[in-house]
Structure 1
C-alpha cells in the first residue's frame, strides 16, 4: 500500500479501516451496562485499601488483580474501567483511559506456528488497542502519529516497535492528564512476549504519570516479571468475591420463572455451598440445572453438583452425547471453539450448512441417489442449535462463541481419560483451513478453472439468488466472480462466510503444519497449488488481501511464483511441494528463492 498521508484520526479510520481492527471491547462497549458485572456486584473494590492507594497516589503505580479462571477478573476490570470512563465523559478532571481486554471466550494457549496467534495476542495488537483508545478520546494526539504513518504506511499497524514508539509519544503528549492503562489477560501471551509487554508498559510509566491496572491468572511468566513493590488484590478465596457470587446466583436463579419458590431456594443453597467464588462455575451449573428442569436427573445433579470446572464440562459433555443428533451438535461446538474470534450468525449458518451437505454427500456415496439442496439456517434456527449445546456455546445479539477458553482446553485436551470424545485440534484446523480456502474460490474464482468441478456445493450459492452461478458463456453481464473481485466488502454481504475465510484460512493452515506433509497436501483431496490463489496472477489474492486484515500480505499482490506465495504464507508443506516444480521449470535448484525456501523448510 502507498504511504499514508492523512491529516486526522477520522480520515485514517475512513481510508484504512485501521487495518488492525478497533478493539472488540471498546469505549462504547464499556458504556453499555449490559456488558458490565451483575447489578450489585463488584462495588467492594472501590473501597478496597490497596485499590484506593493505587488510585489516589500522585505517582505512577501498578495494581495487579489476580485470580484463577472464572473468578470474575475481566468483568471486575471492565467495571473499574467503566467508572474511569464516566469521569472522562464528564470532563470534571483530566483523565485519559486506554485498555486492552482479551475475550474470555478465546483460547489463551500459545499457538506453535509462526505468526499464527489470534490478533489480540501479540504486541502490535495490544499497542494498537491502547493507541486507538487515546486517539478516540483526544483527536489532537493524532499529530504525533503523522510522521510514522507517512514513513511506513499501513505496515505501521503491524510493527510493534513503531506502534509502541507512537503510543509512548501519545502518553507524553497527554501532559497534565492522568493516564490509566488497563491490561487484561496478559497471561495468554507466550512467555517472552509477556515479559516484553510488561517491560513496555512499565516503560510508559517512566515518561509520564501512568496508573497501570493488570488482571490475569497467577502464572510464573507474569508474576516473575512484575515489580516487587506493587499493589496486589487476590480474588482467590476472597470473601467479597464470594458475596458477589452469591448475589449472582440469587439473580440468575430467581430469573428462572418456571421454578417454584421452594425449588429455587434449594438450588440457591446447593450452588452457594459449592461455588467457592467461581462465577463461571455458578453460571454453568445454573445453565445445566435449567436444562434438566425436573425429574430424577435434576435431583441427582443437585445432590452431586461437580465441584470443579473440569467436572462441570465433563457432565455437560456426557449429557450432550446421550442426546439424539449429538454428533452434529458436537461438530458445531468444535468449529466455534476452534474459531479465531466469535462467529457471526451468518458464518455459523454456513458451517451448519456445510456439515449437512457433507453428511448428504457421504450418504450419496454410500447408497447412491441425488443430493437435495441444503438451505442456509435462519438466525432463530441457529439460536436453537446454540441452546442444544448444553451450555458450551453462548450467543449475543450478533455472534456465537465458546462459553470460556477453559472449555476449549477441556474439549481438546488429549490427556483426558474420561472415555468421552476428544476433539482433534490439528486435523480440524486443517479441515477448516481447506474449507475457507475453497470458499474464497467460490466467491472470487472462475468455476471453469476449479481443479475439481464437484467442489461447487449447492449450499454455497450467495444469499442473493440473482447473483448465483447461473452465468452462461456469452452472457453480456459481468460474471458474478468478477463483480465480487471489484468489491470484496460488498461480496461479504452475499457470501456470509467470506470475511472469516479471508481472515483465517492461512492461520488455520499454519496451526496444522505439524500434520504429515502427505496429509496436508493430497493430490486427490487437498491439492492447494492447483487453485487460482497459487497462480502467477493475483485475481484471487488481490481481493483476498483487502479482506484478510493483514497488511503484510500486500506483498502477495501482483505476479508471484507459487513457491514465493507458499514461503510468504509460512506454509512449509506447500514450500516442499512447490520446490520440485520450480526446479523443473528453471532447471536449477540454486536460485536465491530455492535457497531461502530450503532454509525455511
Structure 2
C-alpha cells in the first residue's frame, strides 16, 4: 500500500470501523456487516473487488488512481515543513496575540466576516504568523465530530510551482482531499473525461475554480477553511484568484485567510467582500513582542551551535532585541551571518551589521562593488543576473551555465559555491540549491541599473 493510500484510508475510516463495503465503485463504512452503508463513500479504481464485497481495515486499495497523483503539483504540508526548517520553528506564543484581536475573533467565531486579510511589509512575519495559525487550526479541525478541513498553500515567487493561481487551487484541493477523502469524487468525474489536462491546460484555473465552488456548497462538509500565504507572490491569474475568494466568501460553509504585502490592487479586490484586515503595522507592538520570542529562540540556538558563554549570549540577545524593530527577516539575516562566522568575530559583526534590511542590501551591494578582485565582481554580477532572470532556485551546476561562467567552473561546484557566498547579502545555499534570502532581495537588485535587463522587474498579474 502506498503512503497516500494509507493516509487516506486511515484518516477517513478510523479503526473502530470493522468493515467496509465495496459497491458500485464506492467504498462505504459499516459498523456491523448487517448495517446499511452510510450515504457518504469514496471511489476506488481497478481494485478487482466484486460488487457487495466486504472489506476489512488493512485491505490494499487504490484511491483516486492517477487523478490524485496528477493533482499533486506540491504538497503544502511538506512546503510548510521546509519553511519551518528555513525560518525556524513557530512557537504558539509567538502568534497567540493574533488570536486575541477582534479581527481574528470575528473571523474565527462567526460567519459575518468569512475573509481575513493579514497584511504587512516585508520581513514582518506574515508567513510565521500564518504557519502559527495553521498549526493551531488543523488540530482543532481534526478534533471536531463533524467533517471539517483546513487547506493551505504558500505562494513563492522564486519557485515556478508555487506562483500561479492554478498552482494555488491544485494545492488547496490536494489538502482538502487529504483531510476529507470523499471530495476526490468531485475531481475524479472531471478527470475521467479530461485526464491530466484538467490540471495543466489553458483552462485549468477555471475548471478547478468550478470544483472549489462545488466543494464550498458540499453539505457533507461541516466547514472548510482555505489559507493562502503571500498572495502578492502569485504572478499568474492573481486577479481571477482574488475574484474567486471574494465570490465564495459569502458562503457560510467557507472561511478564507490570506496574507500579503499591502498592495492597493489586492486590497481593492478583497474589499468587494466583507473583509477583516489584520494590519501588522497597526499591531506593531504585538509584532515586536512576537519578534522577541523569535529572537530568544534563535539566540538560544546560536548559543548551542557556537558555544557562547553566558556573557556573549546576553550580548547577542540584547543587541537583537534593541535593533530588530519587529523585523523577523532582519533577525534571521543577522543570525545566519553570525552562524557562518567564527565565534571570535561575533562582536564585530554586531557592531557593523546594518540596522535595516534595505540598508543591509545597500551595504552588501556596496561591499561587492569594492571587491579587490575585479574578475570575481564580474562573475558575481553574472550570477545575480542569472538568478533574477531564472525567477526560480537554481542548482549549483546550473548556475555555471546560466551565468555563463568560464568553462572550468562547470564541474567545479566548490568554486561556484565560493562565488555564491560572495553574494551572501542576497543569496543563500541550501544543499546544492541557490536561492534568494528573501523575495525583497530580488526586488532590491531589480532596481539597480546593472540588473534592469536581466528579467521582469515588474510584478506580473495586474498587467
Q: What TM-score comes out, normalization by structure 1 length? A: 0.56
Q: Is the 8 A contact 1:353 1:377 kept in 2?
A: no
How far is 1:170 from its partner? 2.4
Q: Which runs of 5+ in 1 are unaligned?
A: 108-117, 361-371, 416-421, 430-510, 513-601
Among 336, 341, 346, the alignment partner of 2:392 is 341
Match of 2:73 in 1: 21
Match of 1:65 in 2: 118
1:391–1:290 Cα change, 3 Å: farther
Q: Give a deviation string over 1:30-56, Cα, whole Å, max 9, x none.
A: 468646644452232233333223212
How far is 1:86 from its partner? 2.2
SS of alignment partner, residue 319 of structure 1: helix
1-structure distance, mates of 2:132, 2:426: 25
Q: Is the 8 A contact 2:379 2:419 kept in 1?
A: no
2-structure distance, mates of 1:78, 1:373: 39
Residue 143 of structure 1 pairs with residue 185 of structure 2: yes
Q: Give a deviation string over 1:469-503, Cα, whole Å, max 9, x none.
A: xxxxxxxxxxxxxxxxxxxxxxxxxxxxxxxxxxx
Match of 1:87 in 2: 140
1-structure distance, mates of 2:299, 2:372: 25
Q: Which runs of 5+ in 2 are unaligned?
A: 1-42, 46-61, 458-463
SS of alignment partner, residue 183 of structure 1: strand
Q: Give a deviation string over 1:186-219, Cα, whole Å, max 9, x none.
A: 22356x9444322211222344511111111111
Q: Give a deviation string over 1:162-188, Cα, whole Å, max 9, x none.
A: 110112112322534210010222223
User: Higher strand share goes to which structure?
Assistant: 2
Among 232, 241, 244, the alignment partner of 2:290 is 244
How far is 1:292 from its partner? 6.0
How far is 1:317 from its partner? 2.7
2-structure distance, mates of 1:350, 1:296: 33
Match of 2:168 in 1: 126
Among 12, 18, 21, the alignment partner of 2:66 is 12
Superposed, 1:426-465 pairs within 5 Å as 426=454
Q: Give a deviation string over 1:316-344, Cα, whole Å, max 9, x none.
A: 2333452654544454444344434333x
Q: What TM-score comes out, normalization by structure 2 length? A: 0.71
1:41–1:334 Cα change, 3 Å: farther
SS of alignment partner, residue 232 of structure 1: strand
Superposed, 1:111-510 pairs within 5 Å as 118-157=160-199, 158=201, 159=203, 160-173=205-218, 175-189=220-234, 193-227=237-271, 229-236=274-281, 238-254=284-300, 255-256=302-303, 257-289=306-338, 299=348, 302-303=350-351, 305-321=353-369, 322=371, 325-343=376-394, 347-352=395-400, 358-360=405-407, 375=411, 377=413, 387-396=421-430, 399-414=433-448, 422-426=450-454
Number of equivalenced pairs: 385
Match of 1:102 in 2: 155
Larger Rg: 1
1-structure distance, mates of 2:186, 2:65: 15
Q: Give a deviation string over 1:432-471, Cα, whole Å, max 9, x none.
A: xxxxxxxxxxxxxxxxxxxxxxxxxxxxxxxxxxxxxxxx
1:219–1:375 Cα change, 3 Å: closer
Match of 1:574 in 2: none
Residue 76 of structure 1 pairs with residue 129 of structure 2: yes
Q: Is the 8 A contact 2:299 2:316 kept in 1?
A: yes
How far is 1:106 from its partner? 2.4
Q: Give a deviation string over 1:268-288, Cα, whole Å, max 9, x none.
A: 333323321111122223334
Q: Is the 8 A contact 2:113 2:276 kept in 1?
A: no
How far is 1:304 from its partner? 5.6
